[in-house]
Amino acid sequence: MADISFQTAGRTPFSRLFSGIGLGLSMSAAARSRMTQIERLNAMSDDDLAARGLSRDAIPRYVFRDLIGL
C-alpha cells in the first residue's frame, strides 16, 4: 500500500512570492497615501496650518509620526 503525504506546514516558493508581492503593493499604497497627505498639507496656507497646530517644517514629522515614534 502506498503512503502519500503532503507537507502543509512549509510555505511554497509561490506562496512566498505572492506574499512578497502583496506586501510590496501594500507598502506602496501606504507611501502614496502619505505623499498625498503631505501634498495636501503643503498646499495649505501658513494660517490654515497654524489653525491645525502645524508649521510647514513640521509636516513630514506629523505625517510620519507613527513611524518615528512621536
- Say yes or no to pLDDT of 45 above 80: yes
Average confidence (pLDDT) over 26-42: 86
Q: For residue 1, what pLDDT is reported?
A: 45
Instruction: Read off the pLDDT of residues 2-31 as tens digits, 9 standing for 90 and up.
Output: 555 545 556 788 788 878 888 887 777 777
Average confidence (pLDDT) over 28-38: 84
Matching residue, cell 513630514: 60
The answer to whether 24 and 50 have CB atoms below 8 angstroms apart is no
Q: For residue 3, what pLDDT is reported?
A: 54
Q: For residue 24, what pLDDT is reported?
A: 80
In the chain, helix, strand, coil percent, each to 5?
70, 0, 30
Residue 70 Cα distances to 21, 55, 60, angstroms: 30, 16, 12
